């Protein structure tokens, strides 16, 4: 599966994913995009890092 670009489903969503098993979803507030759905090397570590910054 390859998904890249801007899509609209209840708001503007940006996708950049080749391997859905390595994808994370980042919900944004007060931004042009509602969500970012992106592929990262290590989803668990990336989410822990993002949550620690919150």
Please provide the DSSP assignment of 32-49 as one string.
S-SEEEEE-S-HHHHHHH
pLDDT band at 3 (very low <50, low <70, confident <90, very high): confident
Residue 54 pLDDT? 63
**What is the C-alpha separation between 44 and 27, in angstroms, rounded?**
16
Print the domain residue range for 30. Answer: 3-53
Examine the pLDDT at 16 and tell me if it is beyond 70: yes
In whole numbers, what is the pLDDT of the chain averaged over residues? Answer: 94
pLDDT band at 44 (very low <50, low <70, confident <90, very high): very high
Q: How many domains does the chain have?
A: 1
């Amino acid at each position: 599966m390859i998904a890249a670009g801007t899509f609209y489903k209840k708001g503007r969503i940006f996708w950049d994913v080749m391997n859905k098993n390595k994808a994370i979803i980042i919900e944004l507030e007060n931004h042009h995009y509602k969500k970012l759905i992106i592929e990262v090397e290590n989803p668990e570590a990336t989410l822990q890092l993002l949550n620690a910054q919150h």
